Structure 1
Amino acid sequence: MPVPALRRLSLSLALCAAIPLASAETWPAADWASAPAPRSAAVDALETYAFPTRDDTTRQGIRTDALLVIRDGEIIYERYAGPTKAQTPHLTWSISKSLLSATLGTAYGAGLFKLDDAAAKYYPPLASHPQLKLGHLLNWASGLAWQEGYEYAPLTSTVVAMLYTRGRDDMAAYAASLAQEVAPGTRFRYSSGDTNLLSAALRGMVGEQAYKDYPWTALFEPLGITSVVWESDAQGTFVASSYAYMTARDLARVGLLMQRDGRWDQRQVLPAAWVAFNRTPFANYQADPQKPGEAVPGGMWWLNVPINGAAKPWADVPEDAFAALGHWGQGLYVIPSEHLVVVRYGDDRDHSYSHNELLKRVQAAFAVEATR
């Protein structure tokens, strides 16, 4: 897998002059600036979709816990429901995978690994899979015998076994013990095991002592994020597949970082080349006709691009949109062409929620003015 060239941001006056809008950008300090958008029929239509009457007894239908919209670095819309408040660290489920990818991006920027490196170099239990590269894991393309089934296939599910039964004490070791079904890099198969292997590899990159604080010192603290709780297994390995919690406002900071190509104010927290890799579709991905609307995998982020003859997954959303997505309707959406970052937390159990429908209504309500 080719590695994008690492680009670093210089703070020289010459390069600052080449970015004339930087001084006019809005960045959150201890909290976000707020410029609420006016009420409109489009905002009402968005709320009708996102916040229908909530039935907590059946848990049916669309059940939005939080909806936060950032435009040009300012909060323009925010609403909460159920037990969730602005100060509530919400379970992100598989958004955790994209958070790990961002964390790994800081290590990539520090020169601690390359995408073409063998994963076993940083996590020795993978020695039986010598062809497996870090880049394969980031594309969910390990080729390992994995079954990501929760409610519909719990008895044959490797993710259930990893998180809750025989693999729970050492999740990375459990994933590493699986058989190699196909050659790495030849097949996309969504896998929480791939992510937890990367979480264990991060320890090998940064060292045991630094690892326990690394997501905070390298990523969260530079962005002013203070609410994160990230669970570990019995080995102290972050459960990067599933178990990071944070407030909607803090998660939106990660979205703004990604919208602005890894830059946070005058600091390049993630190399722009890393963000470009995150937004590059896995070349061997084939859309499943049985799963319309399923986003295209990038580097542990999800993309809205047409690929290999398939149309873009979210028909009413710009092609440059990308997202971090999680179980039961969690979403961090970035739409650079509309200057939008959207956080949606939910508790959807019946698959009635639609990414395309929510984002279509968000755009109708809050799209950047045509004069910009």
Structure 2
Amino acid sequence: MNNVLLGVLFSLVFTGVPAFGQEARPDPDWPQAADINSPAWHQVQAYAFAPRDDNSREGVRTDALLVIKAGRIVYEHYAAPTTVRTSHLTWSISKSVLATLLGVAHGEGRFALNDPVARFYPPMQTHPQVRLQDLLHWASGLDWQEDYEYAPLHSSVVAMLYTRGRTDMAAYTAARPAAVEPGRQFLYSSGDSNLLAAALRGMVGPQRYAQYPWDVLFTPLGITSAVWERDASGALVGSSYLYMSARDLARIGLLMLRDGRWQSRQLLPRDWVAFNRSLFAKAAAQPGEANPGGHWWLNQPLPGAGRPWPDAPGDTYAALGHWGQALYVLPGEQLVVVRYADDRDGQFQHNELLKRVLAAQAEGRP
């Protein structure tokens, strides 16, 4: 056995340090870069954790910011009361984690993208043309108003989460009238996501459903902090109510960054990750807003428009949630970024944070 091979074996077996530049992985926890939180990150810190009046709802209000580079933590900071152990509400990041969970089910052969939703969720027989891929594109065609606390009387999502729809959120959504033909128009809808969560129960069966996210996704990834609320019908609130620590959410990002591979196992099919990252072009561009993929958000331009986040690479994609929650994946830079927040006034800009993160990690390169 030559000395090079002996060195590799010693590195892997005795030190746990990846040899030959192999990417680090969180086993059991994230390794940290030697220069974690170096001065290069000062401008990131200044933007994300600007001084604020705790009695005010204005300004950028970051609770946690975690940056992973090539599998190692290069920056991590928390604002009290959030800590490294806090299972933070992810809001609509839940939707993208649900899509990741569905990717495992897809790899198990439980459904095809063109399957009608009614095959797995019978109340959707009133909308027989709606397919699973339509829901994943937020293009069910069902009438929906995704207004939040600023227009609660007209909000479908407020009614679903808090009033007449809260006991059975998928049934509330399935009862909505059709507005347009399925698959023809992007209309962001938390109801579409909760229909997916209910359809998953039909795919895996009621006996396995409650434990399924842990059995096939969270436990294999080493995620221990996840809490996922269910409504009174027993369905996961796939739109909104997943809680997870920043470090655990970063594991979802690393899985996606590595095209569904975790250690030696292809946990998600590569073609599923490609679907998540494929632009659904039937949407109208909104300045600064990412564009829809397969239940993820992409920094790809719609026809006639530029990239939503011009200072970030075009292959950047993200899971995004209300009040500034974000999980960014930058494949070309080998970066995963988690941000938890409590933004209330719209001052936070995804592009500004990503621009500063990219500058900091470039400054820190040897």
Instruction: Report the TM-score, using the length of structure 1 for normalisation.
Output: 0.91
Q: Name the residue aligned to 2:289.
A: 294
Give the conservation status (yes or no) of the 8 Å contact 2:68–2:335.
Answer: yes
Q: Name the residue aligned to 2:80.
A: 82
Give the conservation status (yes or no) of the 8 Å contact 2:173–2:191.
Answer: yes
- Would you identify which runs of 4 or more consecutive aligned residues in structure 1 move more than 6 Å? 368-371
Cα distance between partner residues in 1 of 2:37 and 2:207: 51
CA offsets per residue over residues 137-172 of structure 1, 9 Å max, x none? Answer: 000000100000012211000000000000000000
In the alignment, is residue 316 of structure 1 matched against residue 314 of structure 2?
A: no
Cα distance between partner residues in 2 of 1:248 and 1:54: 22
Pair 54,137 (structure 1): closer, same or farther in 2 beyond 3 Å:
same
Unpaired segments ≥5 residues, structure 1: 1-20
Letter in 2 for 1:313: P
Q: Name the residue aligned to 2:225.
A: 227
User: What does 1:1-150 align with in structure 2 at a 5 Å threshold?
Assistant: 24-37=22-35, 42-150=40-148
Query: What is the CA distance between 1:283 and its match in structure 2?
Result: 2.7
Cα distance between partner residues in 1 of 2:20 and 2:283: 36
Query: What is the CA distance between 1:37 and its match in structure 2?
Result: 3.3
Give the conservation status (yes or no) of the 8 Å contact 1:338–1:367.
Answer: no
The count of aligned residue pairs is 349
User: What does 1:164-243 align with in structure 2 at a 5 Å threshold?
Assistant: 164-243=162-241
Query: What is the CA distance between 1:54 and its match in structure 2?
Result: 2.6
1:34 match: secondary structure: coil
- Counterpart of 2:350 (choices 332, 340, 355) is 355
1:220 match: secondary structure: helix
Pair 39,139 (structure 1): closer, same or farther in 2 beyond 3 Å:
closer
Query: What is the CA distance between 1:368 and its match in structure 2?
Result: 8.8
Query: What is the CA distance between 1:40 and its match in structure 2?
Result: 5.7
1:320 match: secondary structure: coil
In the alignment, is residue 159 of structure 1 matched against residue 166 of structure 2?
A: no
Query: Structure 1 residues 268-277 or 304-313, which shifts more?
Result: 304-313
CA offsets per residue over residues 92-138 of structure 1, 9 Å max, x none? Answer: 00000001000000000000000000000000000010110000000
Cα distance between partner residues in 1 of 2:192 and 2:35: 41
Query: What is the CA distance between 1:285 and its match in structure 2?
Result: 1.9
Pair 40,106 (structure 1): closer, same or farther in 2 beyond 3 Å:
closer
Pair 36,176 (structure 1): closer, same or farther in 2 beyond 3 Å:
farther
Give the conservation status (yes or no) of the 8 Å contact 1:103–1:219.
Answer: yes
Cα distance between partner residues in 2 of 1:89 and 1:210: 24
Give the conservation status (yes or no) of the 8 Å contact 2:37–2:74.
Answer: no
Letter in 1 for 2:348: Y
Cα distance between partner residues in 1 of 2:168 and 2:36: 50
Pair 22,267 (structure 1): closer, same or farther in 2 beyond 3 Å:
farther
Q: Name the residue aligned to 1:279.
A: 277
Cα distance between partner residues in 1 of 2:98 and 2:43: 34
1:68 match: secondary structure: strand
CA RMSD of aligned residues (A): 1.7
- Counterpart of 2:325 (choices 317, 324, 330) is 330
Pair 361,36 (structure 1): closer, same or farther in 2 beyond 3 Å:
farther
1:57 match: secondary structure: coil
Pair 61,369 (structure 1): closer, same or farther in 2 beyond 3 Å:
closer
Letter in 1 for 2:43: A
Matched-pair identity in %: 62
Query: What is the CA distance between 1:309 and its match in structure 2?
Result: 1.3
Query: Structure 1 residues 215-224 or 42-51, which shifts more?
Result: 42-51
Give the conservation status (yes or no) of the 8 Å contact 1:339–1:368.
Answer: no
1:345 match: secondary structure: strand
Query: What is the CA distance between 1:367 and its match in structure 2?
Result: 3.6
1:222 match: secondary structure: helix
1:328 match: secondary structure: helix
Instruction: Report the TM-score, using the length of structure 2 for normalisation.
Output: 0.93
